[in-house]
A and B are shown apart, each in its own frame.
Chain A
């Protein structure tokens, strides 16, 4: 029988990698999740705790995939605390994927927003000239810098890091660096995932120069399958229409960059 991808499948965590003091990667075996498109997500059940939408992280081993989680609220902390040998439930993959252009590419990731960027890197062509921009609060919280270098070893590439406190790489907000890069380079595609304001500014910087840009949005998500409506942004539903949207489309969305809905569905400003 064909697997019902909406049905929660139990998998066992095989390995836990500490990325930073607050970020871990949990590796598991699953052929379908191992081969998803860049930007797709899964709904992840932490039994007895909660269920979360998570971008599906790559694994260096075939047939495996992973989730990279930062401990934040009770649900993400619950996932962060899962140990090797423990079980979680997964359903999906859900959502659309990045439209990867060829040529000169800029990938911008803030924190765990780097996860879909790492999968996107596995799809670039050897001739693509790729810049990865990593934004973090401080040196302690920088991760996936080495992984980015490894994934791009056959490409002309640059990995740039900016930290808010200047403890590593360039000091300042990643969006200032984005503005500088897009003003000095003619990119064929810009891809961004991270905090909303970071995405909003990146989309503005690129779209205002007619550079193709896509962002992977995040909203309060309950069902993940276009039923509950929790993740709406204006007229768009992040789970079914996204999570990836073109800058062109986002520039007409009144809520992008401004507001999001809470668990009750009430609009709150960023």
Chain B
């Protein structure tokens, strides 16, 4: 049988397993269409809040010598209502709407605002490492995770994904809490809280001082997390963190991910990267004689 790179993450069916990660490029429907035409299986929007956020002043990004990026964009976004209006006309693109908030009611309110939009899934941002009172600060509070996941699940029939990261509460515990509260899938991981100081001017470079590290340096960490989650729980996983080649993507499948997301690598290699990775995965499947992506998910755990 000819291999097919279509994949499923629980109830979520995608034609291709490579998605755009949240926070990257995601503010215009025209760009989403372009990414989809260029091979993205789905696009995850910027994390949307109940109100528009301007984010932090520049510098919001910094290139780490030795590889990777550090960013503190500050979750700038046009706000859920504006965004919902923009994607109302969407027909073709599988859009996963990323949401960020402090209390369960934020998520309930925003999900309602997308009622008239074609949404493939919601991804709850429980892991942004550089904005106060949301993201990781929410993800680190098991009680809040429980309430937010339950509320989101009760607000929609569309699948709900939780995106976890490395905070002060162990992510395996957060994943467990999310599963107990009814989550449909997990995205792991977010950027890792980090900083950079310029030695000439002797000050932190990012305006927010702290940011999130992304790109190749965090790939082995993200891979470890996916492996650990899939070893401990029976839950569909989306791998995210430093993936920049088809080999990286396959590694994540073998560790237990059913799909992957690209972030920094899109900026480094530009939009053709989706198609390049899809093709690489397909070649690998031919070589190894797999007809579906699911056949290789978690294979590295056999030994």
- In the assembled complex, A124 has its CB within 8 A of some CB on chain B: no
- In the assembled complex, A100 has its CB within 8 A of some CB on chain B: no
- In the assembled complex, B198 has its CB within 8 A of some CB on chain A: yes
B58 touching A222 by the CB < 8 A rule? yes
Q: Pick the contact of A222: B55, B65, B79 (CB < 8 A).
A: B55
Nearest-neighbour CB distance to chain A for B66, whole angstroms, equals 8
Query: Given contacts A226-B25, A232-B25, A232-B28, is CB(A263)–CB(B58) below 8 Å?
Result: no
A264 touching B266 by the CB < 8 A rule? no
Q: Whole-angstrom distance between the alpha carbons of A8 and B26 in the complex?
A: 25
Q: Whole-angstrom distance between the alpha carbons of A225 and B63 in the complex?
A: 10
- In the assembled complex, A104 has its CB within 8 A of some CB on chain B: no
Nearest-neighbour CB distance to chain B for A23, whole angstroms, equals 21
Q: Whole-angstrom distance between the alpha carbons of A51 and B62 in the complex?
A: 11
Query: Given contacts A50-B57, A229-B28, A264-B77, is CB(A235)–CB(B65) below 8 Å?
Result: no
The majority secondary structure among interface residues of chain A is loop
A227 touching B71 by the CB < 8 A rule? yes
Query: Given contacts A235-B31, A235-B34, A240-B270, is CB(A227)–CB(B63) below 8 Å?
Result: no
B30 touching A234 by the CB < 8 A rule? yes
The majority secondary structure among interface residues of chain B is loop
A228 touching B73 by the CB < 8 A rule? yes
Nearest-neighbour CB distance to chain A for B43, whole angstroms, equals 11
- In the assembled complex, B263 has its CB within 8 A of some CB on chain A: yes
Nearest-neighbour CB distance to chain B for A179, whole angstroms, equals 30
Nearest-neighbour CB distance to chain B for A88, whole angstroms, equals 9
B65 touching A229 by the CB < 8 A rule? no
Query: A225 contacts which chain B residues (CB < 8 A)?
Result: 61, 63, 69, 267-268
Question: Could you tell me which residues of chain A, from 218 to 270, have a CB within 8 Å of some CB in chain B?
Answer: 222-230, 232, 234-235, 237, 240, 254, 261-266
Nearest-neighbour CB distance to chain A for B76, whole angstroms, equals 6
Nearest-neighbour CB distance to chain A for B227, whole angstroms, equals 27
B53 touching A227 by the CB < 8 A rule? no
Q: Pick the contact of B27: A43, A227, A265 (CB < 8 A).
A: A265
Query: Given contacts A227-B25, A229-B28, is CB(A266)–CB(B267) below 8 Å?
Result: no
Query: B30 contacts which chain A residues (CB < 8 A)?
Result: 232, 234-235, 254
A264 touching B54 by the CB < 8 A rule? yes
User: Mask for A49-68, Cβ within 8 A of B = 1, else 0?
Assistant: 01110000000000000000
Query: Given contacts A228-B73, A232-B31, is CB(A266)–CB(B63) below 8 Å?
Result: no
Q: Pick the contact of A6: B52, B63, B77 (CB < 8 A).
A: B63
A266 touching B28 by the CB < 8 A rule? no
B73 touching A7 by the CB < 8 A rule? no
Query: B201 contacts which chain A residues (CB < 8 A)?
Result: 10, 47-48, 87, 89
User: Mask for B185-219, Cβ within 8 A of A = 1, else 0?
Assistant: 00000000000001011010101000000000000
Residue of chain B at shortest CB distance from A266? B78
Nearest-neighbour CB distance to chain A for B38, whole angstroms, equals 10
- In the assembled complex, A4 has its CB within 8 A of some CB on chain B: yes
Q: Whole-angstrom distance between the alpha carbons of A264 and B46 in the complex?
A: 11
- In the assembled complex, A212 has its CB within 8 A of some CB on chain B: no
A235 touching B25 by the CB < 8 A rule? no
Question: Could you tell me which residues of chain B, from 236 to 282, have a CB within 8 Å of some CB in chain A?
Answer: 263-264, 266-268, 270
- In the assembled complex, B60 has its CB within 8 A of some CB on chain A: yes
Q: Whole-angstrom distance between the alpha carbons of A49 and B164 in the complex?
A: 33
Residue of chain B at shortest CB distance from A239? B267
- In the assembled complex, B156 has its CB within 8 A of some CB on chain A: no
Nearest-neighbour CB distance to chain A for B57, whole angstroms, equals 5
Query: B55 contacts which chain A residues (CB < 8 A)?
Result: 222, 263-264
A237 touching B25 by the CB < 8 A rule? yes
Nearest-neighbour CB distance to chain B for A170, whole angstroms, equals 38
- In the assembled complex, A45 has its CB within 8 A of some CB on chain B: yes
Q: Pick the contact of A265: B71, B78, B205 (CB < 8 A).
A: B78
Q: A228-B76, A232-B25, A237-B31 are in contact. List 13 more A-B contacts (CB 8 A).
A: A4-B63, A10-B201, A43-B59, A50-B58, A75-B58, A89-B201, A222-B73, A225-B61, A226-B267, A227-B25, A227-B264, A229-B25, A235-B28
CB<8 Å pairs between A and B, sample of 30: A4-B65, A7-B65, A8-B62, A43-B59, A45-B58, A45-B205, A51-B60, A87-B200, A89-B201, A222-B60, A222-B61, A223-B61, A224-B61, A225-B63, A225-B69, A225-B268, A228-B25, A228-B71, A229-B24, A229-B31, A230-B27, A230-B76, A232-B27, A235-B34, A240-B270, A261-B27, A264-B54, A264-B76, A265-B77, A265-B78
Query: Which of B's residues lie within 8 Å of A, judged by CB?
Result: 23-28, 30-31, 33-34, 46, 52-55, 57-65, 69, 71, 73, 76-79, 82, 198, 200-201, 203, 205, 207, 263-264, 266-268, 270
**Among all A-B residue pairs, the 9 with the closest Cβ atoms:** A6-B63, A51-B58, A229-B25, A227-B267, A235-B30, A264-B52, A226-B267, A263-B54, A265-B27
Query: Which of A's residues lie within 8 Å of B, judged by CB?
Result: 4, 6-8, 10, 43, 45, 47-48, 50-52, 75, 87, 89, 91, 222-230, 232, 234-235, 237, 240, 254, 261-266
